[in-house]
Amino acid sequence: NNLDRIRDQRLKDRVVTPEEAASWIQSGMTLGLSGFTRAGDVKAVPFALVNRVKNDESFKVNVYTGASLGSDVDKLFAEAGILGKRLPFQADATMRKGINNG
């Protein structure tokens, strides 16, 4: 159980599901995500976010990262069409194609 890793018991009630965390994200927000390829890549919330907004073409977020993300997340966001802005850079072919196509 991942909650067993939390030593300070007062913090356990702050842990939420990816779906709940994704529900707090509104269109137009800027998300700061970890990076450095798969090792530091975000794991769950982006997938829950895309599942939540997959039929809402007007939903857009800006994504800023400290390093490159693994291609799974950039590809996921690009295919879902939910990015307004992506900084500082990306390395995914699907996203690159979308950027180059405008």
Q: Sketch the domain layout of the chain as residue ranges.
A: 2-100
CA distances from 98 to 14, 20, 39, 63, 77 (A): 36, 29, 25, 15, 11
Q: Which CATH architecture has domain 2-100?
A: 3-Layer(aba) Sandwich (3.40)
Averaged pLDDT, 24-50: 86
Percent of the chain with pLDDT over 70: 95
Q: Rounded mean pLDDT of the chain?
A: 88
Tokens of 18: 């990816």
Asked whether residue 93 carries a pLDDT value surpassing 70, the answer given is: yes
Report percent pLDDT > 90 for the chain: 54
What is the model's pLDDT at position 19? 96
Band of pLDDT at residue 32, cut at 50, 70 and 90: very high
Q: Determine the Cα–Cα distance for residues 37 and 48; give it in Å rounded to an integer.
A: 20
pTM value is 0.84
Region 61-82 average pLDDT: 87
Comparing CA positions, the residue from 55, 49, 88 lying closest to residue 69 is: 88
**What is residue 38's predicted lDDT score, i.e. its pLDDT?**
66
